[in-house]
Amino acid sequence: PFVRLAIKLAFYVALCSIHNLHFPYQRWYLYGLVLFFVPLLFQTFRQYFGPRIRRRRDRGFNRGALWYAVLYDSIVCLTNLQNNLLMLAMCSAGLFYTVAIPILLLDIFYTSATLQRVAQAIIVPMKPLSVTLYVFLITALVYATLGYRNFDNQFVYDEVGAELEAYFEKDPVSCNSVLTCFELVLYKAMPSGDMSSVLDDVDRLGNKFTARMLFDLSFFIWVGILLFNVVTGLIVDTFSQLREESIAREDQLENECFVCGFTRPAYDDLGTEYNFDDHVHDEHDIWNYLFFIAYLNEKDVNEYNGVESYVSKMLRNQNLEWIPLRTSWRLETDHQFKKRMELQGVSEVTDLKNTFKAEMVAMKETIMNEVKNEIDELKATTKTLLKELHEGHLNHMNKHFGDFGGRGGRGSTTGLGHGNDDVEGTPDNERGGTDLHGRASGLGRASV
C-alpha cells in the first residue's frame, strides 16, 4: 500500500512542479496535499495494520494495530460519530472563523432520513460521477485548445469589461495560453453550458462565422444537454433505487424474523396463541444469539458442554445449520403444532398428487385431441387424393373412348354408302340403326 501512495504523491508533486514552472507558487499546492494525501495516508496505515492485528506465534492480538483499526473503522463507518466530530470541529473553528458557524445548520442531514437518502444518492454513484467529471475536464481542455488556436482574440473574461475596453480603445483582456483558456472555460462556460459566455460576439459576415457557430453549437449539445443530463440521471436513478431498497429493508425487518426467517403472516396463521412480535423479541431475540457467540469466544474450550461444542464447531466451519429455520423451541415442543404440520404435510402431498393427476389427465386429453385432429386431416387428405385420382382416370378413359368412337363412325358411314349403291330404297332409320350398331360394337370391343 505504501508503494501506491508514493506513486500518487510523486505524480502530484510532478503536476505541481510543472505548473510552478509557468506560474508562481499558489496555496492550492499545500491544500491539495492535505486534503487528498492525509486521508490516503490513514487509509494506507489501515490496510497495512489490518492483516497484522492477529499475531502468528502466540496467536494473540497486536493491541496497537487493533486499536488503530477500531478507531479508523469507527470514524469511517459510524455516521453518528462522524456527525459529532464534524460538529465539534466546526464549533472549534467558529471560535476563530465566523464563517464556520453557519455550517452547523447542516446538522439536519444527520437528523432527516430523507436528506440522508439525498446525500447517499450523490455518494453511492461517486465512481460514475467521477468519470463524468473527468469527461467534463477533458471537454473543457479540448474546447479551450480549439478555441485558443482558432478564436484566440475572441475570449473575454467579462462582457462589460470588454465593452469598456473597446470604448477606450484598449485590447480586451483575454487568455494568453491554453491553460488560462482552460480555466476560463471551466469557470464560466461549463456551469452555463454555453460557450458564448466566454467568447465575444462574432460578425455574421465574417470568415469564421460558420466555424464559430459549429463550435458553440457542439459545446451546447455535448455539455449543456448530454453531460448535465447524464449527471442528473445518475443521481435520480440512485435516489429511486435507494428509496426502494430502504422500503424493502424496513418491510423485511418488520415482517420477517431475522433468525429463522418466519414471516408475520405465516406465523400468525399458526393459531391465535402465536404472536409474531413475541416470537421476534422473546423467542428469537437477535441479541441473545450474539451474546451466546461472544460467550463461546470467551469461554474455555475445555469447559464446553455438548451443545456449546457443536455450535463452536459450526462457527469455525462457517456453517449456519445450528440456527433454527422456520421453527423454534416452542413450536418443536408443541404437540398440536407437530400434528398440524403432519396434517399439513399430508395435505400438501395429497394436493400435489391431485395436481399431478389433473395435469396428466389434461395432458392425455390434449394428446388425444391432437391425434384425432391429425387422423381427421389425414382422412380428408386421402379422400381428396382418391377423388382427384378417380377424376383423372375417368378423363383419360373418356378421351380414349372418344377417339375410338370417331374412327368407328367414319368406317360405318363408308359401309353404308356402299350399301346404298347396291340396295336402293333403304329407309334412313335402318341406315341410322346400322350406324348405331357399328358404334355400339366398337364401344363394346373397346371396353373388352
Q: Are 292 and 298 in contact (CB under 8 A)?
A: no
Picking from 44, 78, 111, the residue at the C-terminal end of a domain is 111
CA distance 357 to 345: 18
Same domain as 296, residue 224: no
Residue 259 falls inside a structural domain: no
Question: How many structural domains is the chain composed of?
Answer: 4
Picking from 63, 85, 111, the residue at the C-terminal end of a domain is 111
User: What local confidence, expressed as pLDDT, does residue 447 receive?
Assistant: 38
According to DSSP, residue 328 is labeled -
Helices (H), 272-334: 276-278, 286-298, 306-316, 329-333
Parts of the chain with a pLDDT under 70: 54-61, 152, 157-174, 203, 206, 335-347, 400-448
174 Cβ contact partners less than 8 Å away, ≥ 6 residues apart? 152, 153, 154, 155, 156, 157
CA distance 435 to 167: 131
Which residue range(s) make up the domain with 193?
120-239
CA distance 143 to 145: 5
Same domain as 141, residue 71: no
Question: How far is CA 323 from each of CA 28, 261, 286, 327, 331, rounded to the nearest angstrom?
Answer: 56, 10, 11, 10, 15
CA distance 74 to 84: 12
Same domain as 343, residue 381: yes
Same domain as 2, residue 86: yes
Same domain as 231, residue 131: yes
User: What local confidence, expressed as pLDDT, does residue 420 receive?
Assistant: 41
Residue 5 falls inside a structural domain: yes
According to DSSP, residue 198 is labeled T
Helix (H, G, I), strand (E, B) or coil at 54: strand
* Residue 280 grid cell: 421476534
CA distance 288 to 431: 129
Same domain as 101, residue 188: no
| Cross-strand bridge partners of residue 54 | 61
User: Burial, 113: exposed, middle or buried (Cβ in 10 Å; 0-12, 13-18, 19+)?
Assistant: exposed
* Residue 394 grid cell: 375417368
Where would I find the beta strands (DSSP E) of 158-302? none
Same domain as 276, residue 168: no
Query: Rounded to an integer, what is the distance from CA 235 to the centroid of its chain?
Result: 16
Residue 415 falls inside a structural domain: no
Length of the chain: 448
Residue that has been written with the C-alpha cell 487568455 in this structure: 175
User: What local confidence, expressed as pLDDT, does residue 134 receive?
Assistant: 94
* Residue 374 grid cell: 391429425
The model's pTM is 0.55
Same domain as 81, residue 100: yes
Same domain as 26, residue 48: yes
User: What local confidence, expressed as pLDDT, does residue 227 receive?
Assistant: 93
Same domain as 125, residue 96: no
Helix (H, G, I), strand (E, B) or coil at 320: coil
pLDDT tens, position by position, 244-298? 988 898 888 889 998 888 888 888 888 777 888 888 888 888 899 999 999 988 8
Residue 397 falls inside a structural domain: no
Residue 68 falls inside a structural domain: yes
Of 179, 106, 173, 98, residue with least CA distance to 140: 179
User: What local confidence, expressed as pLDDT, does residue 160 receive?
Assistant: 47
Q: Are 224 and 110 in contact (CB under 8 A)?
A: no
Residue 312 falls inside a structural domain: yes
Same domain as 211, residue 304: no
User: What local confidence, expressed as pLDDT, does residue 401 receive?
Assistant: 64
User: What local confidence, expressed as pLDDT, does residue 211 receive?
Assistant: 87
CA distance 96 to 382: 105
User: What local confidence, expressed as pLDDT, does residue 59 receive?
Assistant: 56
User: What local confidence, expressed as pLDDT, does residue 225 receive?
Assistant: 92
Residue 427 falls inside a structural domain: no
Residue 342 falls inside a structural domain: yes
User: What local confidence, expressed as pLDDT, does residue 418 receive?
Assistant: 41
Q: Are 290 and 259 in contact (CB under 8 A)?
A: no
CA distance 303 to 294: 15
Same domain as 131, residue 105: no
